[in-house]
Amino acid sequence: MYQNKKVAFFTLGCKLNYSETSTLARKFEQQGFTRVDFKEEADVYVVNSCSVTEQSDKKSRNIIRQAIRRNPKALVAVVGCYAQLRPDAIASINGVDLILGTHEKYSITERLGDLTKKPETEIFTSKPREQKQFHQAYSYGDRTRSFLKVQDGCNYFCTYCTIPMARGVSRNDTIANTVAEAEKIASNGIKEIILTGINIGDFGRSTGERFIDLIKELDKVEGIERFRISSIEPNLLEDEIIEFVSQSRRFAPHFHIPLQSGSDDVLHLMKRRYTRDIFAHRVETIKKLMPHAFIGVDLIAGTNGETEEFFLDSYNFIRDLDVTQLHAFPYSERPNTQALNIQGPVSVDERRNRCQQLIELSGRKLHHFYEQHLGTKHNVLFESQRSKGKMFGFTDNYIRVELPYNAKLINQIHTVELIGINANGHVDIRLIEGEGL
């Protein structure tokens, strides 16, 4: 046991990483550690890394060096996707003690030893095809909402992506065990759960079950007021799922659907498993059943083979789609991916230019969505985040609201009226007395 020892964590990347960091933190606390902020001096620093882009790699290295400078005597462990894919690059950083891949990170507390610096960096990774075990994870205490891991790994091999190499094959726990985890979260007073994973629509690969059956069972969990479905592939977002969400009391009218490109030619180069017509059908179905639904879309700008004509075709398609917000990123070359063999690279400056065009389009779409809802009433779950005397919350359809800080509202759901869009791009509200949940 490590009584009176301090541990600090830094998480990069996706919501799944946040759920796993929180689970690792609980393992440390069970061993006697006290969790402290990453900016504080600690005995152990754990960096849960990301490697989705070159920028992610760079940020991971910068954070690792920050930990080493903060306390040169501390044990520094790097876990996660960057640790899985580029352990040698991390080991070249003087002061790193432990490197654990995406599977091995769950054994981190057994590898700490007496917390003294290691004479040489110790590396523990396994091959992706060997990563068949599903590790449960959920976040608690970091935010008002909880991220619940329902799936891991991916059997899709899109040409630009390293995730299958980092995370292994698609796998999951049973519906019964996943529901039990949600009930555990509910017992801690959390009111909202976000279902997360690498490819959550693929749930059931290892248990012979279906994602639609999972969400039907989760919808029965008492104490949770809201569930949100995080990123789900358009080919797996079946009409049956959309119809269920439209009738559910607990599942929010909020979808995040990765498109990556609105050009069928580029989708083919990417080896995506749908066409833009399929994507448009999903959007049309959502808006027909839930006109007020928030739809977020992931896009990559400037991938190899994306000609100017293909980009304009994509841009015009997205411009005309009834979606709410675009998460656009410039293409980033990743080692050992098939995209490196595609002819027609786009210059870095042009990638950034195309990405900026999509970001500006996103701003207009989001503002329009907010404007459409002014004067309407919504239930808002208020969060603990505080900035410049303000607090924030989200409606069921993911409109971010802002009001003067009031600690009594944290983790509470209240009915509000949306009254205006402020200079921060958030929505100002009026609390409606006597209409909380």
CATH of the domain at 335: 3.80.30.20
Task: Establish if 414 belongs to a structural domain.
Answer: yes
Task: Establish if 87 belongs to a structural domain.
Answer: yes
What are the start-end ranges of the H helices in 201-296? Answer: 211-218, 239-247, 264-270, 276-289
Give the pairing type, strands 294-301 and 98-100.
unpaired
Which CATH number belongs to the domain containing residue 117 in this structure? Answer: 3.40.50.12160
* Residues 258, 399 within the same domain: no
DSSP annotation of 237 reads S
User: How many domains does the chain contain in total?
Assistant: 3
Do 39 and 66 meet the contact criterion of CB atoms below 8 Å apart? no
Do 151 and 170 meet the contact criterion of CB atoms below 8 Å apart? yes
* Residues 173, 236 within the same domain: yes
In terms of C-beta density within 10 A (0-12 exposed, 13-18 middle, 19 or more buried), how is residue 429 classed?
Answer: buried
* Residues 179, 218 within the same domain: yes
Helix (H, G, I), strand (E, B) or coil at 267: helix
Task: Establish if 357 belongs to a structural domain.
Answer: yes
181: part of which helix (H) or strand (E)? helix 175-187
Amino acid, single-letter form, for residue 109: T
pLDDT of residue 130: 78
* Residues 332, 398 within the same domain: no
317: part of which helix (H) or strand (E)? helix 308-319
pLDDT of residue 435: 54
428: part of which helix (H) or strand (E)? strand 427-436
- Give the domain-ending residue among 126, 159, 188: 126
Distance, CA of 173 to CA of 132 (rounded, Å): 11
- Give the Å distances, CA to CA, from 236 to 31, 192, 205, 279, 308: 40, 23, 13, 11, 30
- Give every CB contact of residue 53 below 8 A, 6+ residues apart in sequence: 329, 332, 334
90: part of which helix (H) or strand (E)? helix 87-91
Q: Per the structure block, which two tokens stand in for 428?
A: 């100002």
* Residues 318, 423 within the same domain: no
Pick from 400, 397, 430: nearest CA to 415: 430
DSSP annotation of 264 reads H
Total-model pTM: 0.94
Angle among Cα 391, 392, 395 to the nearest 5 degrees reads 150
Which CATH number belongs to the domain containing residue 430 in this structure? Answer: 2.40.50.140
Cα–chain-centroid distance for residue 390?
25
- Give the domain-ending residue among 70, 92, 126: 126
* Residues 307, 397 within the same domain: no
Strand stretches in 103-145, DSSP E: 122-124
* Residues 355, 385 within the same domain: no
395 strand-pairing partners = 380
Task: Establish if 1 belongs to a structural domain.
Answer: no
Task: Establish if 133 belongs to a structural domain.
Answer: no
* Residues 340, 404 within the same domain: no
Task: Establish if 132 belongs to a structural domain.
Answer: no
- Give the domain-ending residue among 65, 92, 126: 126
- Give every CB contact of residue 373 below 8 A, 6+ residues apart in sequence: 292, 395, 397, 399, 418, 427
Distance, CA of 102 to CA of 83 (rounded, Å): 8
pLDDT in tens, the chain (437 residues): 788 999 999 999 999 999 999 999 999 999 999 999 999 999 999 999 999 999 999 999 999 999 999 999 999 999 999 999 999 999 999 999 999 999 999 999 999 999 999 999 999 999 877 778 999 999 987 678 999 999 999 999 999 999 999 999 999 999 999 999 999 999 999 999 999 999 999 999 999 999 999 999 999 999 999 999 999 999 999 999 999 999 999 999 999 999 999 999 999 999 999 999 999 999 999 999 999 999 999 999 999 999 999 999 999 999 999 999 999 999 999 999 999 999 999 999 999 999 999 999 999 999 999 999 999 999 999 998 888 999 999 999 999 999 999 999 999 999 999 999 999 999 999 999 765 54
* Residues 366, 381 within the same domain: no
pLDDT of residue 140: 87
* Residues 218, 351 within the same domain: yes
Task: Establish if 353 belongs to a structural domain.
Answer: yes
Task: Establish if 135 belongs to a structural domain.
Answer: no
Domain around 66: 6-126
* Residues 265, 328 within the same domain: yes
* Residues 86, 233 within the same domain: no
